[in-house]
A and B are shown apart, each in its own frame.
Chain A
Amino acid sequence: MVTKEQILQWLQQFASAIAQNKEYLTQLDAAIGDADHGINMDRGFQKVANQLSNFAAQDISSILKSVSMTLISSVGGASGPLYGSFFLRASTAVIGKQELSNEDMVSLLQAGLDGVLQRGKAQLSDKTMIDALSPAVTTFTQIIREGKTTTEAIQQATVAAEQGMKATIPMVAKKGRASYLGDRSINRQDPGATSVYLMIQSLSEVLVESLVTSD
Chain B
Amino acid sequence: MKKLINRPEDFVRESLIGMAKAHPDLLKVQFEPTFVYRAVAPVPGKVAIVSGGGSGHEPMHAGFVGLGMLDAACPGEVFTSPTPDQMLAAAKQVDGGGGILYIVKNYSGDVMNFEMATELAHAEDLRVLSILIDDDVAVKDSLYTQGRRGVGTTILAEKICGAAAEQGYDLQQIADLCRRVNLHGRSMGVALTSCTVPAKGTPTFELGANEIEMGIGIHGEPGCERMSIKSADEITEILATSIFEDVAYSRTVREWDENKGGFVDVQLTDPEWEKGDRLLAFVNGMGGTPLAELYIIYRKLAELCEQQGWQIVRNLIGSHITSLDMQGCSITLLKLDDEMIRLWDAPVKTASWRWGI
Interface positions of A (Cβ within 8 A of B):
26, 30, 33-36, 39-40, 43, 72-82, 84, 119-120, 172, 174-177, 179-182, 184
Contacts and interface: CB of A to CB of B under 8 A. Distances in A.
The DSSP consensus for interface residues of chain A is: helix
A40 B166 CA distance: 37
Interface string B59-87: 00000000000000000111111111100
A34 B221 contact: yes
A177 B107 contact: yes
A76 B85 contact: no
B269 interface: no
Contact of B219 (A34, A73, A80): A34
The DSSP consensus for interface residues of chain B is: loop
Given A36-B80, A77-B109, 11 more contacts: A35-B197, A36-B77, A36-B200, A72-B84, A73-B83, A76-B80, A78-B81, A81-B84, A120-B108, A172-B144, A179-B145
Contacts of B78: 36
A76 B83 contact: yes
Contacts of A39: 77, 199-200
Nearest to A79: B109
Contacts of B80: 34, 36, 40, 76-77
Q: For the side of the interface on B, what is the size category? A: 35 or more
Contacts of B77: 36, 39-40, 43, 76
Given A39-B200, A40-B80, A76-B76, A176 B108 contact: yes
B302 interface: no
Nearest to A76: B80
Contacts of A81: 84, 109, 112-113, 115-116
B205 A78 contact: no
Contact of B200 (A33, A35, A80, A172): A35
B347 interface: no
Nearest to A38: B200
A177 B224 CA distance: 12
Contacts of B199: 36, 39
B33 interface: yes
B217 A180 contact: yes
A175 B146 contact: yes
B149 interface: yes
A175 B138 CA distance: 16
Q: Which 5 A-B pairs have the closest CB atoms?
A: A81-B112, A179-B145, A77-B109, A78-B109, A76-B80
A119 B112 contact: yes
A76 B81 contact: yes
22 contacts: A35-B79, A35-B204, A36-B77, A39-B77, A40-B80, A43-B77, A72-B84, A72-B85, A72-B116, A73-B84, A77-B80, A77-B109, A79-B109, A80-B83, A80-B113, A81-B113, A81-B115, A119-B112, A179-B144, A179-B145, A180-B138, A180-B139
